[in-house]
């Protein structure tokens, strides 16, 4: 990692109240593995060091805002892609257990290999569709938190994520600016699957200033058994 990117990462994390001093070698290695992986197969559209550092690493760490990931929680990262937000979070929070999920095998293979190279034994990647996992007893109602970044509109996320949570668990959805219509539809969908919107926090990404929103949905009662609907339906026919 070049000096400029190192400074950006330290400053960005610092603005989130995180001191990455001891973890910089892991972030440097993550950057290198991502760039090598990108050269072999298209893992992420972001190519420059500063973009990866700010828009993947720092952005992923913003889901620690508000303290929703405290304690020794089990955390699903739904639609993790090349490992975001899981990998940056797992580096700074070794106390949390992460299950990054993606339907694309090659992405999960990358996340697994990268977690192993980084010595992260708190990351257990899983190939699968949220619609399927949410109906399997091994996964349904089993997790304390679901984090999700850049996967779908809020009503779809509610249907995909809430079934995986235990009652009392939280979905922490990282969004860009969210329209009142999407938020309203998300509230109604959350209600349908046993959840309620607990918090909507708007902020700006450190340094870049891009608008971000964290939407936190609490699971307040069991999700009706018919949700999630079969593969593809939550996306093609959103609840609201
Ligand atoms: N979260 C990552 C990030 O922020 O860089 C990746 C975002 S990428 C735009 C969306 C990912 O979600 C893709 O890798 C896709 O395969 C995965 N995905 C979409 N719908 C899914 C589903 N129903 N179950 C599992 N993975 C899904």
Helices (H) and strands (E) in the chain, counts: 10, 7
Q: What pLDDT is attached to residue 153? A: 98
Q: Confidence class of residue 234 from pLDDT cuts 50, 70 and 90? A: very high
pLDDT in tens, 66-112: 999 988 899 999 999 999 999 999 999 999 999 999 999 999 999 99
Q: Report, as an integer, the average pLDDT of 112-128.
A: 98
Environment class of 121 (CB within 10 Å of its CB; exposed 0-12, middle 13-18, buried 19+): exposed
| 131-188 per-position pLDDT tens digit | 999 999 999 999 999 999 999 999 999 999 999 999 999 999 999 999 999 999 999 9
Measured from CB, residues less than 6 Å from any atom of ligand 1 are 79-81, 84, 101-104, 107, 129-131, 149-151, 160
Of 152-161, 187-196, 203-212, the poorest mean pLDDT is in 203-212
8 Å CB contact between 96 and 124: no
The mean per-residue pLDDT over the stretch 40-48 comes to 83
Q: Which domains does the chain have, with CATH numbers?
A: 55-236 (3.40.50.150)
Query: Average pLDDT over the chain, rounded to whole?
Result: 96
Distance from residue 21's CA to the centre of ligand 1 (Å): 30
Distance CA 194, CA 197 (A): 11
ipTM > 0.95? yes
Burial of 224 (0-12, 13-18, 19+ CB in 10 A): exposed
Query: Residues 205, 44, 48, 56: what is their CA dihedral angle, to the nearest 10 degrees?
Result: 30
Tally Cβ neighbours within 10 Å of residue 68: 21
Which ligand 1 atom is at minimum distance from the Cα of 234? 23
């Amino acid at each position: 990692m070049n000096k400029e990117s190192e400074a950006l990462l330290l400053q960005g994390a610092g603005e989130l109240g995180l001191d990455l001093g001891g973890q910089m070698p892991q972030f440097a290695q993550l950057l290198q593995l991502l760039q090598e992986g990108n050269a072999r197969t298209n893992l992420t559209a972001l190519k420059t060091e500063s973009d990866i550092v700010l828009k993947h690493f720092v952005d992923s760490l913003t889901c620690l805002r508000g303290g929703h990931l405290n304690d020794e929680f089990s955390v699903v990262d739904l639609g993790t892609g090349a490992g975001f937000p899981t990998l940056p979070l797992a580096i700074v929070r070794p106390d949390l257990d992460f299950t990054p999920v993606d339907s694309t095998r090659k992405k999960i293979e990358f996340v697994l290999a990268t977690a192993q190279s980084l010595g992260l034994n708190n990351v257990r990647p899983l190939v699968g569709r949220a619609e399927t996992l949410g109906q399997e007893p091994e996964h349904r109602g089993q997790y304390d938190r679901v984090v999700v970044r850049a996967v779908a509109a809020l009503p779809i996320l509610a249907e995909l994520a809430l079934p995986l949570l235990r009652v009392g668990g939280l979905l922490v959805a990282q969004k860009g600016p969210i329209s009142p219509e999407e938020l309203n539809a998300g509230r109604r969908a959350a209600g349908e699957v046993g959840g309620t919107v607990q918090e909507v926090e708007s902020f700006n990404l450190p340094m870049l200033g891009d608008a971000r929103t964290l939407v936190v949905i609490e699971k307040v009662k069991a999700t009706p058994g018919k949700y999630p609907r079969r593969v593809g339906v939550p996306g093609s026919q959103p609840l609201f």
